[in-house]
Amino acid sequence: MRLKTYAMLLLALLLVGCQSQNTYSKLRDKEKKAISAYIDREGINVLDEMPTVWGEKDYYAVPNYDDFYIHVIDVDSTSGEIHTADIILMRYKKYGLGAYSDTIRYWNTDDGGSPISFQYGNPTDEFYCAGWSAAIEVMKYNGHCRIICPSKLGFTEDNSNVTPYGYELKFTKRPF
């Protein structure tokens, strides 16, 4: 009798546990809601076309990248266009999109330290981030921007955790 009671209890616990687990689809839905809530809370104006003049809260919804948005702060079109295999020097801030977000990582200051570097378009590079590459693809030149990056375009750990982040990026093509 006791064994039957334990078996029933174990079965009940397993059923409850399975029902409470999040599937990837549920996690993606929560991620989309988190991005949408961030956009609403920050008063972001989502644009379907790339503007020539950027308002402070304007973010462009980049086609072919679901839930990826960019706000261009500065572009140096005299720097020469960035191409696949160019080495990019990157300084960045990474922050959560929650109501009380904390900055996760800070860029090195302009007056000290070194930026990280990665090869643009090389997904096997240690510092490759598809969201960073998408920002460079949009901007084409050295620049400064902010992005809202869904997990599938983030670093591996972001993708695994289905966690979106915001980034502020300053990047330049390394001169030869």
Interval 113-136: pLDDT, tens = 578 899 999 999 888 899 999 999
pLDDT of residue 105: 57
pLDDT of residue 24: 87
Q: What is the reported pTM?
A: 0.82
Percentage of residues of the chain with pLDDT beyond 90 = 63
* Average pLDDT taken over every residue of the chain: 85
**Residue 69 token pair:** 């948005």
How far CA 172 is from CA of 1, 69, 162, in Å, comes to 72, 20, 29
Is 63 in a helix, a strand, or coil?
A: coil
Mean pLDDT of the region 38-46: 96
Cα separation of 18 and 65, whole Å?
32
**Residue 147's beta-bridge partner residues?**
70, 167
